[in-house]
Amino acid sequence: MSGVLVVMEQRAGRLARINWEALAAAHRLGAPAAVTAVIAGAQTEAPAAEIAAKGPGKVLRVEHPLLAPYTADGFSIALEQVIRAEQPEYVVFPHTYQVRDYAAALAARFGQVLIGDVVSIGDGPRFTRQLMQGRLNGNYRHSGSSPCFVSVQAGAFPAELSNSGPAEIASFTPSLDAAQIRTRPGEPFRAAAQAVDLGSAQMIVGVGRGIKDQANIALVQELAAALGAELAASRPICDAGWLPMERQVGSSGQTVAPKLYLAAGISGAIQHLVGMKGSQCIVAINKDPDAPIFEVADYGIVGDLMQVVPALTEAVKAAKQ
Amino acid sequence: MKIIVAIKQVPDRDSPVHIDAAGKWIEESDLQYAMNESDAHALEEALQLRDQHGGEAIVLSAGPERVGSTIREALAKGADRAIHIVCDDLGARDALGVARLLAAAAKQENPDLILTGLQSEDLGLGQTGVIVAELLGLPHATLILHVEKTGTGIEVKRELEEGWFQTIELPTPAVLTIQSGGNKLRYATLLGIKRAKTKEVRQLAAADLAVDAAPVAVLEEIGLPKKQKSTQMLAGTAKEAATALVEKLKFEVRVL
Amino acid sequence: MTLLFPTLAEPQQFSVAERLLFAGLAVASAYAFWRRFGVVLDKILKSKKDASFHLFPIGKRVRDFVWEVVFQAKVIRQRPAAGLAHAFVFWAFCAFVLVTLNHCAGALGFGFLDPAGTIGRFYFWFAAAFALACAVGILGLFVRRFFIRPKWLGEKLSWESGVIALLIFVLMATFLASFFVNGAGTAVRILWWVHTLALLTFLPIVPHTKHLHLLLSPFTVFLSRGSFSQIPPLSGDEDFGLVAGTDLTRLVSLQAYSCVECGRCTEHCPAANTGKLLNPKTIVLGLRAYLNDLGPASQEPLLGKYNSQQAAFQCTTCGACEFQCPVGIEHVPILVGLRRGAVNTGAWEDDYGSKLFLALERGSNALGLNPAERDKFIEKQKLPLFDGTQEYCLWLGCMGGYDPKGREIVADFARIMSFLGTSYGVLRKEKCTGDPVRRLGNDLLFQQLAEANLEALAQNKVKKIVTICPHCVRTIQEDWKEYGTPPEIEHHSEFLARYADRLPRVQNQEKIAFHDPCYLGRYRNVYEQPRRVAALAGEVVEAPRNRERSFCCGAGGGLTFLGEETGERVSQVRAAELAATGAQTIAAACPFCNSMFRDALAARGEGAPQLLDIAQLAARGLPRPDAS
């Protein structure tokens, strides 16, 4: 058993950045020549060409009409056949929702587990993943026979661009029967368009009394729009009618836990804190350096909202270009 | 519907995290334990299905004696009975080893549905339910927010990345891993606790389930991550601070 | 002489027919009376026995009875004019006992009071004085109810009240008129019969109307639970609170039937005053209607057709209703009992409520925050840890430990304690005392919290506690008794008042409006101490509703953890009242009041008074920590 298989994932023909990161991770486990990138689906020609340009040793197109839409059965059966044919030492996945759905089942077929959501690979190889919700790191070692199944966390392995020539593209047609696919997935959809859905927003900009005037809310709205974030408010803003009640975050409003919560002009009174403390990253802008909000913030700017907010909007827009 | 809910007792989210002397796990003496959060949502989903369609909601949990308190909590919230796989070395098994225990116990019951939480708050592997499905040869789906019974099986609502969702139809028996937040948890009541006293808790010894325990992935040591949470104040003019923040958002927080 | 001091005239002779008529009517009246009263008495006696009722110590019961019933103190104090009028009616009734007995006995030839004799003359004059006062009083009350129509008496005009008023007036008028007629002659006979008919009509009406309180309320006052807002422990495995009729105890049923519908509870209720569904009078009358229709053996839920669950969960447990109910109804245990019935059985489904319960099921504080936050505060503020040697354990509570404002109050209080040289320490770990879940009726969670805390306190060898939060004080001192023996505890206002002489005064002409917290004032009878402390920093002025009449801030009863209120905000109403005193500062003595007023005052914009705790006011005079 030798070599590294990297299982790529396409969504509507597009390949996300995490795929290149998985490729970079694979290079820690084997020389580029020993790395085979696998792309599965009903249409794999275009993505395969894109992958070939990124420098794996070989690209393997696993194509079958029953592989679209994605199903756990389809992918497990097809990839099991690929792995038995290719006999790799390692199988590397990007840690996506899709991979979380089938990779462990696939590994179990080989009497293996998935060492999942790895943030670094050290000598040994030693696989590091996060425990206790990020408060601890754990180092894992694989024992027993091959293959070793690993998935990598988004953003953990910087994607490297290769400058070697395009790789060889091969094909593998798995043997799949419609009766083997036991689940029937429907078309993806977005949640019914609600007026305000703070609960599922990835980023939220919260505005508080520091904004001083209703007219200034427009400034914060521009920042939210630039970020692609939802607008929320502390209670006094909603009480004053400057923003509707549905945008209230706090003990008597909604509790949110987005990836980013930017608190503009919010002091950090407990009623508001309990509503957003669970946010993954908190940024606070306030002119009072002693405002309690800074105790819970990951990043803080002490300054005048009227200056900082527009500056931030500009900087965000520039970064997104 | 006969529904089995696999529940894990985990250290409380706010527990102090001190690495033990061996460097392989955290000090357990000062820990408080609680039901894993997504498992609580799985239990709630099972109870709602049971209330709607009749049948039984059975709690299944593996672990040492102390797991009994979490099992009783599940019974107090409304589960009908429980199976406790008494196992003192759960930490020494990997996901496959644990799944083998659960699958062996579940198989005896022949359920219509097996629900687990999406992932645990301590190890966060998110695989046990998926492996159970594989071991039992059952169809499965993950990241489920809602379950409906249909004439031919079940229809579930699955969470996808970036605010998308999907419905999936599958036949029963099946295994589902339930995401947090899909339903509203119920609180423990005095009435529930009193009723739980008479509910059956069947104990199985891990050894009796004749399952191979040697782990394939071994946790060798644990350590504290280098970055500890502290507030980074960004100084300078508005423009300078804004630029610095955007850098952080792009490269450290990775939201831009 | 006889013109100035006329004698009561009575018919000298009654014919046999008259006697028979009288006897027949009397029997009929008594029968009609018993037909209804018997039913009521039966319902009360068939209700569940109160498991934790103790007749002794009896001293307080006797004192309350004399003060509230005999002297009508509560009735007069809270509504002086109407109260005095009622008091006269009551005293007239008392005075008339012998008159009435004599009246009936006389019809059958057994009269024992001779209007011409010394005792008789004295007694009838005595009664006449009261009769006059009563007649005037009842007239005044009639005008008030039917013409002035204060809103807490309700929208609908009560015809039964009108009839009763008329009957009482007739009774008094006929009695008085009898002084001015001749003993022989038809006038006296007519008066006598009118009086008799009024009496015999009145008697059976009593148990059919709120005038049942005539018979019941003296017992209700005497047999109360013994202390203010005392929540009875659950009795046995099958008791989950007031779920259905079978859970209504004798005390509760007695209280339900004693309600006079005066509406004094409604008048002071913060919920009723801000447009909520809750009206304490309606709650009590709802129970009465339930008992009338279904009785104490019914399994139908108490919260449903007869009382709304939504209303029951709008109560802040401020106690203003119970505090001045003239007939001894204990509203707070009733409301908490109804909540228990809903929560202990899982019938209450509320997102915020569930969130609170789930947070305390797993965690240590009501806010759902990581206890490490409290550790950080203790470290940053350099608060000493309690090690068993210090005199006081300073209990932070959820607000003191986690709320930025609460922490400021703790910091200032700690400074004062250090200044005074008092030895104190804070516990390394605290769990919420359970006050919000206790008032919301979650006995499972409350028991867990109380027992865990009592054990921790015992392990840490805590003897005396001082804290900034009146809710913690009440819960620790009273409610934890159900599960163990709590240590001594006092509120920081009581502590500071003792040392007020040693604290520097700030020479300031600032006006300070003090707000009496419900759990310090009505619940603990502490009114002067916080004022003494506040006086260190300026001149204390009173809000219109102060001391035992203080108007709630709206946070109690667990409501601060529930969702948005309907109607006006209680906190805003009270904040407006406090601001209207013209004070520059509003002084609070409870971190919850502080939190509620903070938002309410902010909504008033610039120019609103500043808000400070009494500890912060007292600490003003101390040298600043960073001063060299």
Region A162-190: mean pLDDT is 90
- Minimal CA separation from A292 to chain C, in Å: 7
pLDDT at res. B228: 62
> Could you read off the pLDDT of B130-142 as tens digits, one per residue?
999 999 999 999 9
Residue count of chain C = 628
**Domain identity same for C377 and C454:** yes
For residue C609, is it left (φ>0), alpha (ψ between -120 and 50) or beta? Answer: beta
**DSSP code at position A53:** T
Establish if A126 touches chain B: CB-CB under 8 angstroms: yes
Question: Does C344 contact B12 at a Cβ distance shorter than 8 Å?
Answer: no
For an interface test with B, the pick among C350, C362, C445 (most B C-beta atoms closer than 10 Å) comes out as C362
| Residue A81, number of CB atoms within 10 A of its CB | 16
Kindly list the residues from chain C whose CB atom is less than 8 angstroms away from the CB atom of residue A271: 595, 599
Distance separating alpha carbons of residues C438 and C444, to the nearest angstrom: 9
Chain mean pLDDT for chain B: 92
Question: Does B189 contact C345 at a Cβ distance shorter than 8 Å?
Answer: yes
In the CATH scheme, what is the homologous superfamily, with its name and number, of domain A203-320? TPP-binding domain (3.40.50.1220)
Instruction: Choose among A133, C400, A262: nearest CA to B229.
Output: A133
For an interface test with C, the pick among B189, B193, B194, B195 (most C C-beta atoms closer than 10 Å) comes out as B189
Q: Which residues span the domain enclosing C326? A: 224-343
Residues of C (238-277) whose Cβ lies below 8 Å from B: 240
**Domain identity same for C97 and C236:** no
pLDDT at res. C6: 79
Kindly list the residues from chain A whose CB atom is less than 8 angstroms away from the CB atom of residue C560: 251
Establish if B69 touches chain C: CB-CB under 8 angstroms: no
- Subunits close to B (at least 3 CB pairs below 8 A): A, C
Instruction: Choose among A284, A259, A273: nearest CA to A200.
Output: A259
Residues of B (207-226) whose Cβ lies below 8 Å from A: 214-225
Q: Which is more confident, A205 or A201? A: A205
> Could you read off the pLDDT of C382-396 as tens digits, one per residue?
999 999 999 999 999
Distance separating alpha carbons of residues A266 and A284, to the nearest angstrom: 8
pLDDT at res. A193: 61
Establish if B16 touches chain C: CB-CB under 8 angstroms: yes
pLDDT at res. A251: 81
Q: Where are the domains of chain A?
A: 4-180, 203-320
* Distance spanning both ends of chain B, measured CA to CA: 46
Phi and psi angles of residue C489, each rounded to the nearest 5 degrees, phi first: -145, 145
Distance separating alpha carbons of residues A106 and A118, to the nearest angstrom: 18
- Minimal CA separation from C268 to chain B, in Å: 33
pLDDT at res. C1: 44
Number of C-alpha atoms within 13 angstroms, CB side, residue C583?
Answer: 27
**Domain identity same for C130 and C246:** no
> Could you read off the pLDDT of C105-160 as tens digits, one per residue?
888 888 888 888 888 888 888 899 999 999 999 999 999 989 998 877 777 888 88
- Assess whether the region A4-180 and the region A203-320 belong to the same CATH fold: yes
- Kindly write down the DSSP assignment for every residue of C332-388, as one continuous string: HHHHHHHHHHHHTTT----HHHHHHHHHHHHSSSTT---HHHHHHHHHHHTPPBP-S
* CATH class (in words) of the domain with range A4-180: alpha beta
Which residues contact residue C251 at a Cβ distance below 8 angstroms, ignoring those fewer than 6 apart? Answer: C50, C53, C223, C224, C225, C330
**Domain identity same for C78 and C63:** yes
Residue C270 counted as domain residue: yes
Residue C1 counted as domain residue: no
Cis peptide preceding A147, ω within 30 of 0: yes
Question: Does A113 contact B127 at a Cβ distance shorter than 8 Å?
Answer: yes
Query: What tokens appear for A73 in the block?
Result: 């059965």
User: Which residue among C482, C498, C514 closes a domain?
Assistant: C498
pTM: 0.91
Buried residues in A93-113 as b, exposed as e (16+ CB within 10 A)? bbbbebbbbbbbbbbbebebb
Determine which helix (DSSP H) or strand (DSSP E) holds C593, and give its type and residue range. helix C591-602
Establish if B193 touches chain C: CB-CB under 8 angstroms: yes
Question: Does C352 contact A252 at a Cβ distance shorter than 8 Å?
Answer: yes
Residue C4 counted as domain residue: no
Residues of A (206-245) whose Cβ lies below 8 Å from B: 227
* Distance spanning both ends of chain A, measured CA to CA: 45
| CATH code, domain carrying C439 | 3.40.50
C-beta of residue A233 within 8 angstroms of C-beta of residue A247: yes
Establish if C379 touches chain B: CB-CB under 8 angstroms: no
User: Which residue among C498, C531, C562 closes a domain?
Assistant: C498
Question: Does A274 contact C405 at a Cβ distance shorter than 8 Å?
Answer: no
Cα nearest neighbour of C356 on chain A = A251
Q: Is C395 exposed, middle or buried (0-12, 13-18, 19+ CB in 10 A)?
A: buried
Residue in B95, B222, B234 nearest the CB of A301: B234
- Minimal CA separation from B182 to chain C, in Å: 14
Number of C-alpha atoms within 13 angstroms, CB side, residue A134?
Answer: 5
For an interface test with B, the pick among C247, C369, C444 (most B C-beta atoms closer than 10 Å) comes out as C444
Distance separating alpha carbons of residues C352 and A76, to the nearest angstrom: 43
Establish if B231 touches chain A: CB-CB under 8 angstroms: yes
Structural domains in chain C (count): 4
Residue type, C341: G
Establish if B152 touches chain A: CB-CB under 8 angstroms: no
pLDDT at res. B22: 87
**Domain identity same for C581 and C518:** yes
Distance separating alpha carbons of residues B215 and B103, to the nearest angstrom: 17
Distance separating alpha carbons of residues A231 and A224, to the nearest angstrom: 6
Residue A139 has pLDDT above 90, yes or no: yes
- Minimal CA separation from C443 to chain B, in Å: 7
- Subunits close to A (at least 3 CB pairs below 8 A): B, C
Q: What percent of chain A has pLDDT over 70?
A: 97
**Domain identity same for C420 and C548:** no
Distance separating alpha carbons of residues C423 and C464, to the nearest angstrom: 11
Establish if B103 touches chain A: CB-CB under 8 angstroms: no
pLDDT band per the 50, 70, 90 thresholds, residue B84: very high
Question: Does B217 contact A108 at a Cβ distance shorter than 8 Å?
Answer: no
Instruction: Choose among A99, A104, A84, A100: nearest CA to A146.
Output: A84
Establish if A245 touches chain C: CB-CB under 8 angstroms: yes
Instruction: Choose among B135, B99, B10, B2: nearest CA to B59.
Output: B2
**How many angstroms separate the Cα of B40 from the Cα of each of B61, B69, C343, C443?**
12, 14, 20, 22
- Minimal CA separation from A42 to chain B, in Å: 19
Q: Give the pairing of strands B201-205 and B174-178.
A: unpaired
For an interface test with B, the pick among C361, C376, C440 (most B C-beta atoms closer than 10 Å) comes out as C361
Distance separating alpha carbons of residues A255 and B197, to the nearest angstrom: 35
Residue C374 counted as domain residue: yes
Question: Does C345 contact B193 at a Cβ distance shorter than 8 Å?
Answer: no
Residue B151 has pLDDT above 70, yes or no: yes
Residue count of chain B = 256
Query: What tokens appear for A96 in the block?
Result: 């996506």
3-state SS, C178-229, equals HHHCCCCCHHHHHHHHHHHHHHHHHHHHHHHCHHHHHHHHHHHHHCCCCCCC
Residue C606 counted as domain residue: yes
Residue in B12, B184, B192 nearest the CB of C351: B184
Question: Does C404 contact A268 at a Cβ distance shorter than 8 Å?
Answer: yes
**Domain identity same for C163 and C34:** yes
pLDDT at res. C627: 47
Residue in C343, C358, C362 nearest the CB of B189: C343
- Subunits close to C (at least 3 CB pairs below 8 A): A, B
Question: Does C598 contact A269 at a Cβ distance shorter than 8 Å?
Answer: yes
Helix, strand, or coil (residue A204)? strand
**How many angstroms separate the Cα of A242 from the Cα of each of C183, C568, C575?**
82, 18, 22
Please report the number of interchain residue pairs, chain B to chain C, with beta-carbon separation below 8 angstroms: 49
Query: What tokens appear for C281 in the block?
Result: 């009078």
Kindly list the residues from chain A whose CB atom is less than 8 angstroms away from the CB atom of residue C368: 274
User: Which residue among C450, C467, C498 closes a domain?
Assistant: C498
Positions in chain C whose pLDDT score sits under 70: 1-4, 625-628
User: What ipTM does the predicted assembly reach?
Assistant: 0.91
**DSSP code at position C48:** B
Cα nearest neighbour of A270 on chain C = C403
Residues of B (51-80) whose Cβ lies below 8 Å from A: none
The residue to which tokens 């059966």 are assigned: A77
Residue C231 counted as domain residue: yes
Residue in B13, B184, B193 nearest the CB of C444: B193
**How many angstroms separate the Cα of A118 from the Cα of each of A109, B25, B101, C598?**
21, 18, 26, 47
- Kindly write down the DSSP assignment for every residue of B100-118, as one continuous string: HHHHHHHHHH--SEEEEES
| CATH code, domain carrying C281 | 1.10.1060
- Torsion over CA: C402, C403, C404, C410 (sign): negative
Region A62-80: mean pLDDT is 96
Residue C2 counted as domain residue: no
pLDDT at res. C305: 94
Question: Does B245 contact A299 at a Cβ distance shorter than 8 Å?
Answer: yes
